[in-house]
Structure 1
Amino acid sequence: MRILQLIDSLDAGGAERMAVNYANALSETIALSAMVVTRKEGVLKNELSDKVPYLFLQRKKTIDVQSIKALLQFVKKHQIEWIHAHGSSFFIASLLKILYPKIKLVWHDHNGNRVKIKMRENTLLAICSYLFNAVITVNRELQTWAEKNLHSKKIAYLPNFTRNNGKEEKATILQGNPEKRIVCLANLRHPKNHVTLIAAFHATKLAAEGWTLHLVGKDNFDDYSGKVKEIIRQYGLTDSVFILDSKSDVYHILSQASIGVLSSTYEGFPVTLLEYGLSKLAVVASNVGYCPEVITDSEDGFLFNPLNAEQLSGKLLVLAKNEALREKFGDSLYKSVGEKFSQQSVIATYLNLIN
């Protein structure tokens, strides 16, 4: 098979990581695995395998004739059979299919909040779905939504998977005590709920004991980012809470931490939790989206209400004070991720779906 992954950017987000993971994993399995990025490159470009043919379209507007022409030429040159469009890239993929009907199109929905979005905001998606040969969703709630609202005959849930692509430069060195670091791997944007996390960390008073909190994710320097930084200043945590922006050496960063936190108010399928698991971190995660399917509360991590800073601070305190529990959670999650969310099983199911 010859499959192309299509994504709008390569910033360090969940959908983007999955596009790279699929491209790299398939490059080891099928005749050709390619990647096309439509609007913006980013740190994840460095993680692409050398085996993956790559094109950046530099798309500037919704209907960009030059970008569509370049995509069509790339598809023909590499004899692509399937386009695997992630997230909002479904539109340019649909335009391509209209121009080149022999291509097959699978759309991958990563938006865990889609079920709460009014249908009129998904009108274009619903229309384009007549062109989809298959739809993949990252959780069963999204699968149910797609079966009700979209027009593809094949709709399936596939869990995300993670892999260490082995191309990290290991450049980032975290500040603080190596045994007392908490990390949150999430872009600085509203649903990631950093303010609650910072409030909870402040309430624990762990900073006075040498613990540090590291926020790793794209900083858009917008109102949300400004609010997060202001909260850090108000709590007097500028020497204990650090914003690192996007980084490509994720596993190197996680290897320097003891606790991983995900405080989102909603999630589709949290790739971050899989990365924490492979890094054997003790995890505290919000009980939203698919997080409870990855984390079994009190067995391989803690779950909490993302709107309850007091609950989160209590979980953080328990883990910070109990090294043996941290090791137990880390080992348990590592084993669970390997058994339930392995690359091999997901890719096998995926190829069976689109065959």
Structure 2
Amino acid sequence: MKILQVIDKLEVGGAERVAVDLCSILYKNNVEVDFLNLLKPSELDQELLEKGIKVHYLNRENKFNPIYLIKMLLLLNQYSIIHVHSRHVLRYVGLTFFLPRIFRKYKVIFHDHFGEIEHDKFISPYLRKCINNCAAYVGVSPSLVSWAKENQLNRRVFLLENIVVEKDAFTKIATESKIVVVGNFRKQKNYEFLLSVLKNLPEPIKIDLYGTIVDRKYYDEIVNLAKSHNLFNRITIKTKEKNISEILLNYKFALHCAASETGPLVAIEYMSKGIPFIMFNTGAVAKVLKENEYDSIMDIFDEEMWSKKIMEVMANSSKQSYLSNQLRILYRNFFSEKIYLEKCLKIYQNIQNS
């Protein structure tokens, strides 16, 4: 069994992080695995290269140029399983499905990371055809899996919830904040509500917000909103930090305000480090935590309720310690590297034997 993980470009993002971690876990456990970027090198490539994982680059400049498609087809045929991450990547790899099966020696697994499935269930006829032609559909959340089954997108539908690889590295930083928020700047992250919560918290409390600027217009809106509410002296926005995992233990509490998520990865990161956090009831992490009686999963966006819940934890060191231990246990039971590897290999074996 020879695996090729495929994505367009390894920029800093959720699907990209999952792809890198999955590839690293497989490689560490002696699975023959390489990586293909459809475009050019980017930030996360180095993590794979440093481990000795082979990374291919298609260096595609025009997706309508058949030369790139032929180059990709020749590469794909060197592997038994092609593990494709994200819908736009499948749309390109799916062009090879128009070729007779005799020209394709590989089987394709589609790994769907779409985070807006609660609000956007539309699927184009072409994407439906691509998914239908895959050997299996893998969703990162129960919502995606239910959607795929309801729409009969594939005969084989699997759930593979996201994880993060536990890291021990720690970097001490100078900060006045005890609360952290992590998430790239896009409307889905609901930072308007974050500012409403901050406004309801006692004056001395400050927040550090880390996020790459994906949507410049949205970033500017949030900055202007913070200024208009006189909150700019209570929130520090950091857009260039690359090693978020290493600095998280500088904080005592975390918030995640997104209205729609599949994971999210950062919540799993908080769990692995035992950092108590509050989040809206969306995605796989919230489902697991709610089912296991973690009491900071919120069903509505009410800034007074959220701020009250935050202060209950921040003002009680015993509760902080209890929640920290609870989160570490739940991380090991549901989101550990070992469990993830077992699930992934089971999917590969199922496809290989089909």
- Structure 2 counterpart of 1:259, which letter? F
Distance change in 2, residues 1:115/1:197 (3 Å): closer
Instruction: Give the aligned partner of residue 216 of structure 1.
Output: 210
Determine helix, strand or coil for the equivalent of 1:273: helix
1:255 to 219, 225, 249: 249
CA apart distance, 1:108: 0.8
Give the Cα–Cα distance (whole angstroms) in 1 for the partners of residues 66 and 247 of structure 2.
Answer: 41
Determine helix, strand or coil for the equivalent of 2:195: helix
Instruction: Give the aligned partner of residue 5 of structure 1.
Output: 5
CA apart distance, 1:152: 2.2
Give the Cα–Cα distance (whole angstroms) in 2 for the partners of residues 46 and 330 of structure 1.
Answer: 32
1:128 to 123, 127, 130: 130
Instruction: Give the aligned partner of residue 310 of structure 2.
Output: 316
CA apart distance, 1:41: 4.8
Q: How does 1:155-170 map to 2 (within 5 A)?
A: 155-164=157-166
Instruction: Give the aligned partner of residue 352 of structure 2.
Output: none
- Structure 2 counterpart of 1:320, which letter? M
CA apart distance, 1:252: 0.8
* Identity over aligned pairs, percent: 22
CA apart distance, 1:47: 3.1
CA apart distance, 1:112: 3.4
- 5+ residue gaps, structure 1: none
CA apart distance, 1:299: 4.8
Q: How does 1:8-87 map to 2 (within 5 A)?
A: 8-39=8-39, 41-48=41-48, 50-76=51-77, 79-87=78-86
1:148 to 147, 150, 153: 150
- Structure 2 counterpart of 1:183, which letter? V
Deviations 1:148-169 (A, max 9, x none): 3244221111221210367x7x
Q: How does 1:270-309 map to 2 (within 5 A)?
A: 270-296=264-290, 299-300=293-294, 302-305=296-299, 307-309=301-303
Q: How many residues align?
A: 344
Deviations 1:262-320 (A, max 9, x none): 11101112111110011110111111232422323895451124532222222222222
If the length of structure 2 is used for normalisation, what is the TM-score? 0.88
- Structure 2 counterpart of 1:222, which letter? R
CA apart distance, 1:327: 2.0
Give the Cα–Cα distance (whole angstroms) in 2 for the partners of residues 41 and 350 of structure 1.
Answer: 26
Distance change in 2, residues 1:38/1:183 (3 Å): farther
Q: Is the 8 A contact 1:139 1:157 kept in 2?
A: yes
CA apart distance, 1:246: 5.1
- 5+ residue gaps, structure 2: 350-354
Give the Cα–Cα distance (whole angstroms) in 1 for the partners of residues 124 and 30 of structure 2.
Answer: 33
Q: How does 1:322-337 map to 2 (within 5 A)?
A: 322-337=316-331
Determine helix, strand or coil for the equivalent of 1:114: coil
If the length of structure 1 is used for normalisation, what is the TM-score? 0.87
Give the Cα–Cα distance (whole angstroms) in 2 for the partners of residues 183 and 73 of structure 1.
Answer: 46
Give the Cα–Cα distance (whole angstroms) in 1 for the partners of residues 40 and 200 of structure 2.
Answer: 39
Instruction: Give the aligned partner of residue 184 of structure 1.
Output: 181
Instruction: Give the aligned partner of residue 199 of structure 2.
Output: 202
Distance change in 2, residues 1:303/1:324 (3 Å): same
CA apart distance, 1:135: 0.8
